[in-house]
Structure 1
C-alpha cells in the first residue's frame, strides 16, 4: 500500500508470518474499516491501543484503514469512532475476488482482464503476447527470486531495432497488490496491438523508445498471496539470525537512501516495511538494479514507473527526505497533472489521482525504487503510481474494476509519453525545465 505498510501482528495469523508454514491464512469475519483521524489522531491511537488489529495503510494523518478480527469487533464498536466499513467480511471478499470471472482461454483480448489469474497464467500471457509480435519483442529475465523463479517481462521496440532510450515499468513488488500486474499487461498489449494496426501515436512511441515491462517483480510473494495468505506483502526471504519472520519489503530495500531516515522503513524483520539487513540484499532487487544500470549505461532511461495499490496517487522523488526537492520537480508535477487529467477524462466514474513528491506529500519512505532509479539510474521521469481505489475496497479490488483501471492508466501513460516527446524530441526540454540539462544528485553512483 502506497509503497508502504506496517506489521501484520495478529496472533491468529502467525502462520502467515512464519515462512515454513503452508497453512492457509483465512480472514473469515474479519472486518476492514476506515477511521477518520485528522486532529483527533492521538486520541484515536490511544483508544485503539487496547485492541489487536492489522493496519493496512500508513497515511494516518487523514484516515486509518485497519483489519479487525472477530473477537475485537464489539470492543471496537464501543470506542465511538467515526468510521465506515470497507469489508464486512474480508474472507468472503477474498473468495469472491478469486472466483469471479471465467477461465482464461489464452486469448489476447479483454477477457484476460475480467478476473485475476494465477502466476503461471501471467507467464503464458507474456509468452503469447511476445509471439504475437515476434520481430519486435523478446521475453526478458531481470534475475531470479529468492526461491529461484525467473523474474520475467517483455521488451518491445519499433522500427530501427533495439537500443533506443528506455521506458521501464514494473509491478507487483508488493505481493497483495494484484491489480498492478494486469494494468501493465494491458499497456503492453495496447502498445503492440496499436503498433500492428498502424496507430501513428503508438508507432511513434515504439519507434522512439524501447519498453521494458515486468508485470510481477515479486513472484514468490505473489504466489504466496494466492495460495497461503492473501494479505502477504513482502518477498519470501528468511529473516536474519534464525528469525521466525520471513520476507523483506522490496520497496524499502533499494540502495539509494536506504539508511537515511529512521522513519522511512523498519529494522524489524517481522514488520511489513522491513528494509533488510543491508542495501539491496534481496535477489529480486539485485536483478532489477542490474537491469537499471544496463539501461542507464546504454541509451538511458527516460521514464520509470513502479506500479502499486492502493490510494490513487502519482508520487515522484524524493521519498527518503521529506524536505528535499529534486530540480526536475516542476516538470514532473506538470506531467503528473496532465496524466491525472487524462485518467480522469478516460474514467467512466471520474477517477481522481492526486500527485506530488512522495516524502513531502505522504511520509518518509527510504530505499524506494523511484528515488533509486532517478538518482542512480538517472531516469529523467520517475514515479510510483498507486492504483485504485481510495478506500472502498483497498487491496481487494473487485475484478469488475480491472479493465477500467487498466484503460484509464493507459490513457494516462499516453499523455505522459507525449510529454516525453515534447521534452526530448521536439527541442523544448530546457525551456520547460528551466535548465540547460537534467541535473542529478551529486555523488550518485
Structure 2
C-alpha cells in the first residue's frame, strides 16, 4: 500500500542496484560454499580440512561454513565429511544478487528500495531523502571519517520537545559483506518517520521518549570494496604497520575487553578478526567511540544494537568471557525472548532467533561493540542482532529476502522499544 506521504521526484526512473564490480574484481565463478557439520568436534573437522585451501565464512561449534575454489572441490569430496552445499556456484549467486527488474523512483517512501541492493552513493542519497521527509525532526549526522576519508554518515531522529532525550543507537554494516544490515536499519528509520507523520501513537511514543541515532554503514570503505572488488570482504581498508594484509576488524577494535584473552580476536593482520595494534586504532572505531561517549555523557544510551549477518541470533554481553554474566542479563534475556517470539509469529517463514549472552551462546569475541557500549557507554540494553539466515545463503542473501528480513525486524523492534522502561525484576532481584 502506498504510504500517506510523499517526497518530490528527485530523478527520473532508474534501475538502482549494487555498484557493478570492476573488471579486476575477484571472481567467484565455480566456487562452492559448503556447510560442514562438526558433530560437536570442530577440532577433528578442522584437522581434516587443513589439507585444503579454503576461506572460512562462519565457524560455530556445530558447523564450519567454507568457500572452496574449483581446484579444491575434488579434494574436499574425498574427505567424506558430513556437509551440504549453500551455494553451488557462488559467482552465479553474486550475479543474481546484483540484478533486479524493479525500478526505484528515488523517493524515500518507495519500497522498491528494499527489492534490491544498492551502491554506497545511493545509500547516501537515501539518507538525504529520509531527512527531507522529516526535516524538522531529523538531521544528517557523521561520526568521524573512515581510513579512506569517507564520512561515516547516518540520521538523528527525534520527537516532540526537540533532541536531548536518552539515545537509541543502531550500527549497521560493520562487516563489509553483510549487506542486509544496512537495509534493515534503513527500513526501521523509514518506519519511525512514517509512523510519526501518520500519528501512530506507539511510534510517536518512541520518538517522543528517545533520540534515535541510526548509522546504516559504519564501514564505508569496506562496503565499497565489497561491491567493487571482493564481495566477501569483511574488514576495513586500513593497512597494517608492516606486511601486505589490509584491514582491521572494527568489531574487535573496541577498548573494553580488547586484550581480555587470546581466543576472541587475532594479532595477525591477515586474519579476518585482526584486532589492530591497540584499542580504537581504526579511524572508524575512533569516531564511533567518540559518539558513544558523547551520548553517554549527555542523556545516556537506552538501547544499542549492532546489526550483523548471519545466523539469526540476539546476543547480549558478555562476548569476551563465556562464563561471566552481567547483572542485567535477566532483563536482557526476557526482552530478547519476547522479541524472538514476535519475529517468529510475524514472519510467514516463522523465522526463529536464538538468544543469550554472546560468549556462551555463540563464541568468544574480544573488543566487541556491545560489551563496550554497555561497559563504557553505560547502555541499559546492548545487543548484537545476527540477521537471516541460518545456512542456506549466508552473506549472499537473495534480494527477495531483503524486505521480509527488514519487516520482521521492525516488528521485533516495536516490542523491544516498548519494553525499555518495563520492570523485569522482582523486589529481590530475581528475573520475573
Task: Give the structure-2-normalised TM-score.
Answer: 0.92
Contact 1:249 1:274 in 2 (8 A): yes
User: Helix, strand or coil for the counterpart of 2:302?
Assistant: strand
1:385 maps to which residue?
385
* Aligned match of 2:102: 102
- How many angstroms apart in 1 are the aligned matches of 2:271 and 2:298? 37
In 2: Cα distance, 1:402 partner to 1:231 partner: 18
Aligned partners of 1:31 and 1:90 also within 8 Å: yes
TM superposition shift of 1:68: 0.6
Task: Determine helix, strand or coil for the equivalent of 1:56.
Answer: strand
CA distance 1:190–1:432, shift in 2 (3 Å): farther
Question: What is the alpha-carbon distance in structure 2 between the residues aligned to residue 432 and residue 286 of structure 1?
Answer: 40
Cα distance in 1 between the residues matched to 2:100 and 2:332:
38
Match of 2:329 in 1: 329
Q: Could you tell me how far 1:430 is from its partner in structure 2?
A: 6.0
Assess, with a 3 A threshold, how the Cα gap between structure 1 residues 432 and 225 changes in structure 2: closer, same or farther. farther
1:180 matched residue in structure 2 = 181
- Give the structure 2 partner of residue 217 of structure 1: 218
Q: Is the 8 A contact 1:314 1:354 kept in 2?
A: yes
Question: Deviations 1:222-258 (Å, cap 9, x if unpaired)?
Answer: 00000000000000001112x1110000000000000
Structure 1 SS opposite 2:139: strand
Q: Which residue of 2 aligns with 1:56?
A: 57
- Structure 1 distance, partners of 2:137, 2:421, is 21
1:89 alignment counterpart:
89
CA contact (8 A) 1:240 1:269 kept: no
Contact 1:310 1:387 in 2 (8 A): yes
Secondary structure of the residue aligned to 1:391 is coil
- State the SS of the aligned residue for 1:288: helix
CA contact (8 A) 1:167 1:212 kept: yes
Tell me what 1:372 maps to: 372
Specify the alignment match of 1:146 in structure 2: 147
Partner residue, 2:297: 297
How far apart, CA to CA, are the structure 2 residues paired with 1:386 and 1:44? 25
CA distance in 2, matches of 1:380, 1:247: 31
Shift of 1:100: 2.7
1:360 corresponds in structure 2 to 360
In the alignment, structure 1 residue 249 sits paired with structure 2 residue 249 = yes
1:146-197 deviation line (CA, Å, top 9, x unaligned): 0001101000000111100100001000000000000000000000000000
Report the TM-score, using the length of structure 1 for normalisation.
Answer: 0.90
**Structure 1 CA distance for aligned equivalents of residues 300 and 428 of structure 2:** 18
Q: In the alignment, which residue of structure 2 is the partner of 1:31?
A: 32
Query: How many angstroms does 1:45 deviate by?
Result: 2.0
Q: How does 1:46-445 map to 2 (within 5 A)?
A: 46-59=47-60, 61-108=61-108, 109-241=110-242, 243-422=243-422, 428=423, 431=426, 434=429
- Displacement of 1:35: 1.0
**3-state SS of 1:29 partner:** coil
Which runs of 5 or more residues in structure 1 are unaligned?
A: 1-20, 423-427, 436-445
1:102 counterpart SS class: coil
CA contact (8 A) 2:311 2:388 kept: yes
Q: Show CA shifts across 1:334-358 (max 9, x none).
A: 0000010111111111000000101
CA contact (8 A) 1:102 1:114 kept: yes
- The 8 Å contact of residues 331 and 433 in structure 1, kept in 2 or not, is answered as no
Measure the CA separation in 2 of the matches of 1:226 and 1:136. Answer: 32
Q: Measure how far apart 1:360 and its partner are.
A: 1.1
CA distance, structure 2, for counterparts of residue 220 and residue 193 of structure 1: 30
Q: Which runs of 5+ in 2 are unaligned?
A: 1-21
SS at match of 1:384: strand
* In structure 1, distance between residues paired with 2:412 and 2:261: 32
Q: Deviations over 1:366-391 (max 9, x none)?
A: 00000000000000000000000000
Distance 1:152 1:304 in 2: 17
CA distance in 2, matches of 1:409, 1:39: 31
What is the rounded CA distance, in whole Å, between the counterparts of 1:53 and 1:346 in structure 2? 38
Q: What is the Cα deviation at residue 131 of structure 1?
A: 0.7
Residue 101 to residue 288, structure 1, CA distance change in 2 (3 Å):
farther
Q: 2:141·2:156 contact (CA, 8 Å) conserved in 1? A: yes
Quote the Cα distance in structure 2 between the aligned partners of 1:415 and 1:352.
Answer: 16
Distance 2:427 2:271 in 1: 42
Change (3 A) 1:433 1:65: farther
Q: Which moved more, 1:44-53 or 1:322-331?
A: 44-53
Cα deviations by residue, 1:302-334 (Å, 9 ceiling, x for unpaired): 000000000000000000111110000000000
How many correspondences in the alignment? Answer: 408
